[in-house]
Amino acid sequence: MNKEEILLLIMDGNIEISKLKILLSDMNTVDIAEILEYLEKDKFIQMFRVLPKTIASDVFANMDSEHQQSVVEALADTEIGEIINKLFVDDAVDFIEEMPANVVGRVLANVQSEKRKLINQFLQYPDNSAGSIMTAEYISLNENEAVQDAFDTIRKIGQNKETINTCYVIKNDRVLVGEVSARTLMLSNLHDRICDIMNKYPVFSHTTDDREIIADQFKKYDLLAMPVVDKEQRLVGIITVDDIMDVIVQEDTEDMEKMGALKPSDDPYMKSGIFQLAKNRFLWLLVLMLSATITAAIIEGFEESLALMPILVAFIPMLMDTGGNSGCQSSTLIIRGMALGDIRLRDFLRVFWKEIRVALLCGLALAAVNFGRIYIMNGKNILLAVTVSLALVCTVLVAKSAGALLPMLAKRIGIDPAMMAAPVITTIADAASLIMYFTFARLILGL
Amino acid sequence: MNKEEILLLIMDGNIEISKLKILLSDMNTVDIAEILEYLEKDKFIQMFRVLPKTIASDVFANMDSEHQQSVVEALADTEIGEIINKLFVDDAVDFIEEMPANVVGRVLANVQSEKRKLINQFLQYPDNSAGSIMTAEYISLNENEAVQDAFDTIRKIGQNKETINTCYVIKNDRVLVGEVSARTLMLSNLHDRICDIMNKYPVFSHTTDDREIIADQFKKYDLLAMPVVDKEQRLVGIITVDDIMDVIVQEDTEDMEKMGALKPSDDPYMKSGIFQLAKNRFLWLLVLMLSATITAAIIEGFEESLALMPILVAFIPMLMDTGGNSGCQSSTLIIRGMALGDIRLRDFLRVFWKEIRVALLCGLALAAVNFGRIYIMNGKNILLAVTVSLALVCTVLVAKSAGALLPMLAKRIGIDPAMMAAPVITTIADAASLIMYFTFARLILGL
């Protein structure tokens, strides 16, 4: 039976609870959470209570924060404690960070004291740090124990760990000394010692490391999990690849938003209010609008030329748009290239030289088309066609240079390159292209 | 000893081969590949030959295709066979796809016939399909065997499998009937039967499924690996999460490139020639430049008004830029929201209504600032200030509506929404804003 059919059965109330329990126990908890979220509130709470105790926490971890809050508000204190105690620390922290203060207080009051201590510790790690995405449910082994002991440990506590695919080897003071995979354990002799079969140089991170750099390491080394240590090299948690996929998606979304002249936001569009959306957009629009004062001043400075030859105005939008689009192409490639590590700051000159040649190729080809068009459509006015085409080549050249260099310059001085994307480049290219256009008009057309 | 130190030792030739072998055997093969790639060609080949046989294939898989080609050209036929036979099929296919025909022929001629058959089969799967990113090295178990047998299987063949963390359960005809994790195996009783402990409803895909949809499933269900079946539900391969991370990065890059008016390309910027770069940019620039003919025509149509009041020209760039940026903000949010599944086509009306209200908020706030600026800087000309400000509000409204609706419309008719990003929206917003601007000017300023 698929998700839709089960959802319909529940909505119609056409199913016995005992039968439903059997159906749900075969399902993925992600799907169960999805089904529950479709229900109306009363029905939703009622169904959540029906869930087998073994999967209730898992389902809870997969719901959005609004539904999590509904659950917590509807359940009794002891029931809340049961659910939260079974959550992995990272899921518990994610949940608590979204809750209002009174809910947080009630939740923490009903959690086992050891778990509460961990949650409070994990809540302290700065946003975007390794600490903020790690969890505490890992398997740690002693370097001197035998493989057989490791199997016994896994058998005893493996059920409640986020992963058993990699186990972490520590010395008595909890200092990380290695890692050993489930594969290695299975392929080893039962009385091999862990320190003889472990990987002594695992890729690890510190609690304060930036999550973006950690994501790069996961990609580079094809990791499934990474141990996190404190300043004294003591193991405090692990990061798993599922959370890293979320990091990659979030970081890319952030970059796209910055490149689109938006203040980045973690909230999904459909759940954001219009005031919040407007706030995330207004500042950039204002800055860019005010910087367009420069172009207005340039045009006013050339008012006499325009009065003598009004047709010149007609080509302003084409020049501006082509400049904007050319710059946007370059900045997109450079910003993304730097984010992926394909382009490094020391490539500065090579990038610049590349962009100049590409700009000349594109600019000359566009100018040729443009020359023909103006010549045919504007009464065979060769001088006008030359003026506009020359301005076009120069515009593409300036826009592409700015599009390549500004993001690299930004990175050099420690600003996010994604801020130097299309909108900023367009504003710069506009001013430059208008000045060149009018200057050529004066020189060539004698205005 | 870290990577840089080892690299220096090799470059100086200051290290005995036997010592180097010991150093390298402790290192991650990704790092070894990185070190080798820094060396000059002769030294590089010499060092590659030094690598212990056990890791040479792994190092080979982690090198870029230029260096892979150098290796293959330098080695003898039997040596090539040894390396390729040990590669996972997905790595072998990735490598072969980048090689010129003569190299491919030589490689395939030296591979074991079974492997050759698999490689040829995998090469047939269409780009971007599940088949193109899967590999054949998985562990399959029989549903009737016991856990002890599974351990024996893993012990026997687990060394050469891409993952043993999840094993796949098949019936005699290779039809997929379930999956079982290493964790479940370890926590089960040795004489439990596989069919009693397996997950009977694994998330799986077909060879022709789109890799983007598969990536969504990995994210949704936090998967580490996914089985791939053919039309008859027979297991043919598995996809692992490390390849899915690459898919996510590539798909995001592609979206950004499309949004930046670029033809998407898999080749890194630094390795692309200028003609290729220019080719990927020219077509969009040409289309957008030619569509600016419309704005030129609009301006020519209002030439008389402009002649009566030349100052009107000065505000054209500001209106165009603000329209472009407003539209860019909306299209960025909507395109990314749809890519992440946060915004669905059935949300069309809600999105439209949201954008209109956000546009009014932003537009009115911008217009207020703009009104003040013009009033102060342009001789307290209230009518001019009203005209420009009114045009500004309407421009933001049109740009944001187009920025929200066009990507959704594109998706509806089966075009990639990312094509309907800033550049296209800008062109549309430009035309609309100029028409409104000049119409208001005629009505309000009586031109």
Q: What are residue B176's DSSP bridge partners?
A: B170
Length of chain A measured in residues: 447
Mean pLDDT over B314-335 rounds to: 93
In this predicted structure, the answer to whether residue A8 has a pLDDT above a threshold of 90 is: no
pLDDT at position B105 over 80? yes
Across the interface, of B155, B269, B361, the residue whose CB is closest to A187 is B155
Contact A342 B269 (CB under 8 A): yes
CB spacing of A277 vs B354 below 8 angstroms: yes
Across the range A359-370, mean pLDDT stands at: 96
Residue of A nearest to B202 (CA): A28
Residue with tokens 């050529």: A440
SS3 B175: strand
pLDDT band with cut points at 50, 70 and 90 for residue A24: confident
Burial of A232 (0-12, 13-18, 19+ CB in 10 A): exposed
CB contact under 8 A, B282 and A366: yes
* ipTM entry: 0.90
**CA proximity to A439, closest of A322, A305, A308:** A305
β-bridge pairing A166-170 and A140-142: parallel
Chain segment A249-274, per-residue pLDDT in tens: 999 999 999 999 899 998 889 889 99
Give pLDDT tens digits for A326-355.
999 999 999 999 999 999 999 999 999 999
Q: Which chain B positions have a beta carbon within 8 Å of A259's beta carbon?
A: 256, 259-260, 332
Identify from A58, A333, A427 which residue to disrupt to test chain B contact, counting B C-beta atoms within 10 A and taking the largest count.
A333
Question: Tokens 């150093």 label which residue?
Answer: B23
A240 - beta bridge partners? A225
Q: Do B186 and A322 touch (CB under 8 A)?
A: no
**If you average pLDDT over residues A40-45, what whole number do you get?**
90
Question: Quick one: pLDDT at residue B83?
Answer: 93
A167 — pLDDT class (breaks 50, 70, 90): very high
- What phi and psi, each to the nearest 5 degrees, are found at residue B141? -120, 160
- Position A21 confidence tier, pLDDT thresholds 50, 70, 90: confident
Sort strands B205-206 and B225-229 into parallel, antiparallel or unpaired.
Answer: parallel
pLDDT of residue B21: 82
Range of weakest confidence among A367-371, B52-56, B250-254, B316-320: B52-56
- Beta-carbon separation of B282 and A343 below 8 A: no
Segment A392-406 mean pLDDT: 95
pLDDT at A108: 92
Residue A395 near residue A323, CB atoms below 8 Å: yes
pLDDT for residue A120: 92
> What are the distances in angstroms from CA B326 to CA A322, A329, A439, B156, B400?
18, 19, 30, 62, 6
**A66 Cβ partners below 8 Å, 6+ apart?**
none
Q: What average pLDDT does chain B have?
A: 91
Question: Is there a contact between B442 and B309 (Cβ–Cβ < 8 Å)?
Answer: no
pLDDT digits (tens, 9 = 90+) for A92-105: 999 999 999 999 99
List the helix and strand counts (H, then E) for chain A.
23, 6
Average pLDDT, chain A: 91
Closest CA to A107 of A57, A134, A69: A69
Number of H helices, E strands in chain B: 23, 6
Chain A residues inside the 8 Å CB shell of B361 = 274-275, 278, 282
Q: What is the pLDDT of residue A123?
A: 92
- DSSP-H helix ranges across A26-159: 29-38, 41-50, 53-61, 65-74, 77-86, 89-98, 101-109, 113-123, 130-133, 147-157
pTM comes to 0.90
The answer, yes or no, to whether residue B241 has pLDDT greater than 90, is yes
Identify the three-state secondary structure at position B135.
strand
Tell me the nearest-neighbour CA distance from B311 into chain A, angstroms: 7
Size of interface A-B (CB pairs under 8 A): 349
At B346-388, the pLDDT tens digits run 999 999 999 999 999 999 999 999 999 999 888 888 999 999 9
**Minimal C-alpha gap between B133 and chain A (Å):** 15
Tokens describing residue B87: 């590669």
Q: What pLDDT does residue B318 have?
A: 92
Residues B60-82 have a mean pLDDT of 92
Continuous segment of H or E residues that includes residue A229:
strand A225-229
Q: What percent of chain B lies above the pLDDT cut of 70?
A: 100
Task: For residues A189-195, give the mean pLDDT.
Answer: 93
pLDDT digits (tens, 9 = 90+) for B196-238: 999 999 999 999 999 999 999 999 999 999 999 999 999 999 9
Nearest of B236, B264, B269, B241 to residue B118 by alpha carbon: B236
C-alpha span between B57 and B77 (Å, rounded): 15
Q: In the predicted model, what is the mean pLDDT of residues B82-96?
A: 92
Nearest chain B alpha carbon to A203:
B28
Q: How far apart are CA A8 and CA A23, in angstroms?
A: 13
If we measure between CA atoms, which residue out of A424, A432, A228, A437 comes closest to residue A335? Answer: A424
**Which residues does chain B have within 8 Å of residue A149's beta carbon, measured at their own beta carbons?**
none
What is the rounded distance in angstroms from the CA atom of residue A65 to the CA atom of residue A271? 11
Backbone Cα Rg of chain A:
30
Q: Which residues of A touch B324 (CB under 8 A)?
A: 324, 423, 426
